[in-house]
A and B are shown apart, each in its own frame.
Chain A
Amino acid sequence: MATPTAALPEVRKRPVAGHLSGGDGVARALTLFFALLILVVTVLLVVQLWNNSELTRAKFGLGFLTSAVWNQNSTPSRPEEYGALPFIYGTCVTAFLALLISVPLGVGAAIYLAELAPPKISNGLTFMIELLAAVPSVIFGLIAIFSVVPIMRTTVEPFIKKGLGFLPIFSGPTYGFGYLTAGLVLSIMTLPYIISVSREAILSVPREQREAALALGATQWESTWDAVLPFAKLGIIGSVFLALARALGETMAVTMVIGNDPKINTSLFSQGYTLASVIANEFPEAVKLHSAALVELALVLFALTMAVNAMAQLMIVLTTQKGSGKG
């Protein structure tokens, strides 16, 4: 440990760029180099995606995003043609289903954990729920194939069909593989994100809000609903975007249960395809136009997750600015 010399160096303020000397300069340059690597790699990634999708961007233009044709094999009656719509549809439908289930469930659980449960239980249960977020996607897929798919095929889907089969979204054969099963599996995977982030958003609402409401005679629920949640709203919405971002990029668990059909099918029982799944299945064999089409799908997926992540960050930043920290 260096001992102070007779002449103490002046206390340095936060250094302005370029005014560091000796070891500090080296340290800054070194760490800056690695930080810039992140920038370089990401730019390289986007450039690669852009370049390798050149063929389809030139051939189909923006029509690629609205075309529902996905035909690798050109025949006399149908040329080789690609379009992103079935996959955008499948991605959106499964993500929507996932959120439809996990948002009410997750926000409800978050309210319970933040408002009602004693702190020890709340921390313990949250810890366990957050462990669910660490389970790899392929393991969800493994479990889903042997447990969820058969249950959907033999019990859940026929049950829904019996009652609501007149609706187009609940029509058709029930095989267990399809949008609904994929949505259900995704909901389990997105649940921990909703719970974890919403709980923190709720916890960061100042105590005074609750105390004021309760002092005015509100019930616990009224205090939560009218006084606390409005403040936590932004954070909760942020958690939804975070969960959505995860759902959009999910590959393995989805491709094992969605049935892999590159069409837009109305019924939730029917098979579909997502952006990530089609890339996983078809990229190893794809050449030329087909390969460019898949890379363009990757670009679309990238843009989608980028937009959603940005929204999530925005919400969470706005919340932490609003709230004044935990009670």
Chain B
Amino acid sequence: MTKNTVLGLAAFAAMFAATASAQSINAAGATFPEPIYKKWFGEFKAAHSSVAINYNAIGSGGGIKGITEGTVDFAASDMPMTDEQIGAVKIKPLHFPTVLGGIVLTYNVPGVESGLKLTPEAVAGIFLGEVKKWNDPKIAAENKGVKLPNEDIFTVHRSDGSGTTFVFTDYLSKVSPTWKKNIGANSSVSWPAGVGQAKNDGVAGTIRQTPNSIGYVELQYAVNNKLAYADMRNAAGKWVKASFDSVTAAAASSKDLGPDFRGSITNASGPAAWPISTYTWLLIPTQIPDGAKKKAVVDFLTWMLKPETQKEALSLNYAPLPKNIVALEIKQIASIK
């Protein structure tokens, strides 16, 4: 063994020792809130250097499976767990909403830079495969003056278990009886047509590369990559643009979330509400045996619910939680044993 090898091994061991002393927490789940979570976990580590929360964005379905099988310390999901799913977990998970976000229909249509308007019927028709071309009357009717090409619509959906899919299909189930009957709402459904790609990134990336395509992604993915996204007509009959304001309006005009914070705010009734809005949750076990981990998780939750931290969501086009929800959540933190 040469001197260099020994030095190399020593450096490796030192690095190992140094980082082993940090408290490592593993979380996995939704890609919907990945931008804000990566930002927050990074900031939290910068402020508390001994706590590193590593987040793997593998989709909400993966997060729920992770918390069920016990392969993660906590999970993230845009799909609230069903009673059946909660029942399958040994240690009951608590739902902690973190931010509000919106899902947009982002598209790449040559010649249509922005401002496409889509009705609920058009969106359902596109994804059911009934509206096949961009210049179909269902789309053209609301977009007079826009030159829509006579090209096939190429739809992109998620190939992995996705909370974003759940929220989108939940919305479609509310606005289209055909969709509700034949396809339903879940983290994975049987899409009539189109390409499946993994993660919000994959859908946005494919749309960016492929002309005449359309798909559903979380707002920030469209904004950050300068992809066009459509205005939509909401349940109140008004045309709305997606933004943290319209998402906040959706939450405001929806029924209260239940005591366990599970609830849907899609197709909200308010005049300024963005129709495909949702809360996104962290799934935290009620019992965390490791004392240091528990403290780290509790510290993070407390920090995240602070107004300054919540405000940061705006910079990435998410909306902060309503104050009453924050107050209730702070109470729920005490339930973590």
Contacts and interface: CB of A to CB of B under 8 A. Distances in A.
Contacts of A73: 183-186, 188-190
B318 to A, nearest CB: 23
A78 interface: yes
Given A77-B182, A150-B209, A173-B152, A285 B188 contact: yes
B114 interface: no
Interface of B: 58-62, 64-65, 68, 88, 152, 154, 159-161, 180-191, 193-198, 206, 209-210
Given A150-B209, A173-B154, A260 B159 contact: yes
Given A76-B181, A149-B209, A260-B159, A282 B65 contact: no
B195 A261 contact: yes
Closest 4 CB pairs of A and B: A285-B61, A285-B161, A260-B196, A73-B186
Given A271-B195, A281-B198, A75 B65 contact: no
Interface in A168-211: 173, 175-177
B60 to A, nearest CB: 8
A310 interface: no
B59 A284 contact: yes
Contacts of A259: 195-196
A284 B61 contact: yes
A72 B65 CA distance: 15
Q: How large is the interface on A (under 10, 10 to 19, 20 to 34, 35 or more residues)?
A: 20 to 34
A173 B194 CA distance: 10
B188 A72 contact: yes
A146 B183 CA distance: 33
Nearest to B205: A145
A285 B183 CA distance: 19
A285 B196 contact: no
B176 to A, nearest CB: 13
B59 A75 contact: no
Interface in A20-59: none
Contacts of B60: 285
A228 B195 CA distance: 47
A146 B209 CA distance: 8
A77 to B, nearest CB: 6
Contacts of A76: 181
A72 B159 CA distance: 12
A12 B185 CA distance: 74
Contact of B160 (A149, A176, A262, A281): A281
A48 B122 CA distance: 47
A286 interface: yes
Interface string A251-267: 00000000111100000
B210 A176 contact: yes
Contacts of A246: none
Given A285-B61, A287-B88, 8 more contacts: A73-B185, A74-B184, A146-B209, A150-B209, A259-B195, A281-B160, A284-B62, A284-B65
A243 B212 CA distance: 36
Contact of B58 (A176, A260, A284): A284
A153 interface: yes
A96 interface: no
B68 A282 contact: no
Nearest to A149: B209
A71 B62 contact: no
B181 A77 contact: yes
B161 A286 contact: yes
Nearest to B192: A263
A231 interface: no
B76 to A, nearest CB: 13
